Amino acid sequence: MNIESIKKAIEDVRPSLQADGGDIQFVSVSDDGRVMVRLTGACGSCPMSTMTLKMSVESYLKKMVPEVREVVQA
The predicted structure's pLDDT at residue 52: 87
Percent helix, strand and coil across the chain, each to the nearest 5: 50, 25, 25
The predicted structure's pLDDT at residue 43: 86
| Tens digits of residue pLDDT in 20-71 | 899 999 999 999 999 999 999 988 888 888 888 888 999 999 999 999 999 9
Q: Among 1.10.3720.10, 3.40.50.1370, 3.40.228.10, 3.30.300.130, what is the CATH number of 3-73?
A: 3.30.300.130
| Tens digits of residue pLDDT in 40-51 | 998 888 888 888
Cβ–Cβ under 8 Å, residues 18 and 35: no
The predicted structure's pLDDT at residue 61: 97
Cβ–Cβ under 8 Å, residues 66 and 35: no
Domain boundaries, the chain: 3-73
pTM of this prediction? 0.90
